[in-house]
């Protein structure tokens, strides 16, 4: 029996965490808009008119994935795409009014969901939670960059 205990596997833990979040999001925030889609909306509220690649970079999605997410949001009428007149390769993205409205509505629910999600941890532990995961993710992303 050379098997390993999965609970000491960070990858397995990360997957469980993400799935748990996904389910909670579905019940507490929205069944229509997913968490990555919200991240895109959120980025465009902060920086309207950003190009597609940069949006992807902000939310941590590669060019293929961001293209699909953007196209879905476009189909739902939450954002618009336009060629950059300065650089014909780029697409510039902007929220529609509906997109802004949806973002505003979901922001409230997201905050509530995050509270529930992190409720098992004390305020101090929540700090550690963010810091530890952030450090591991940052380090791994840097390994990739090389």
Of 80, 32, 86, 78, give the one whose Cα is nearest residue 52.
80
Provide the angle, in degrees to the nearest 10, between the axes of the packed helices 63-75 and 35-46.
90
The two structure tokens encoding residue 12:
């397995």
The verdict on 19 binding DNA (CB under 7 A) reads yes
The verdict on 121 binding a second copy (CB under 8 A) reads yes
> Among a second copy, DNA, none, what binds residue 58 when CB lies within 5 to 8 Å by partner kind?
a second copy
> Among DNA, a second copy, none, what binds residue 143 when CB lies within 5 to 8 Å by partner kind?
a second copy
Binding piece for DNA, criterion CB under 7 A, among 85-93, 108-116, 117-125, 129-137: 85-93
Provide the angle, in degrees to the nearest 10, between the axes of the packed helices 35-46 and 97-118.
120
Sign of torsion over alpha carbons 115, 108, 21, 25: positive
Please report, as ranges, the residues that interact with a second copy according to CB under 8 A. Answer: 1-4, 6-25, 35-36, 39, 42-43, 45-46, 58-60, 103-104, 107, 110-111, 114, 116-121, 125, 128-130, 132-141, 143-144
């Amino acid at each position: 029996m050379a098997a390993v205990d999965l609970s000491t596997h960070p990858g397995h833990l990360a997957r469980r965490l993400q799935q748990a979040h996904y389910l909670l999001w579905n019940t507490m925030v929205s069944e229509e808009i997913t968490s990555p889609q919200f991240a895109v909306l959120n980025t465009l509220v902060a920086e309207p008119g950003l190009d597609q690649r940069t949006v992807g970079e902000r939310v941590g999605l590669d060019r293929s994935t961001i293209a699909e997410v953007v196209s879905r949001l476009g189909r739902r009428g939450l954002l618009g795409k336009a060629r950059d007149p300065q650089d014909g390769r780029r697409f510039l993205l902007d929220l529609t009014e509906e997109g802004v409205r949806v973002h505003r509505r979901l922001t409230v629910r997201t905050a509530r969901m995050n509270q529930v999600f992190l409720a098992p941890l004390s305020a101090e532990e929540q700090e550690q939670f963010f810091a530890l995961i952030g450090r591991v993710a940052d380090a791994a992303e840097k390994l990739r960059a090389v």
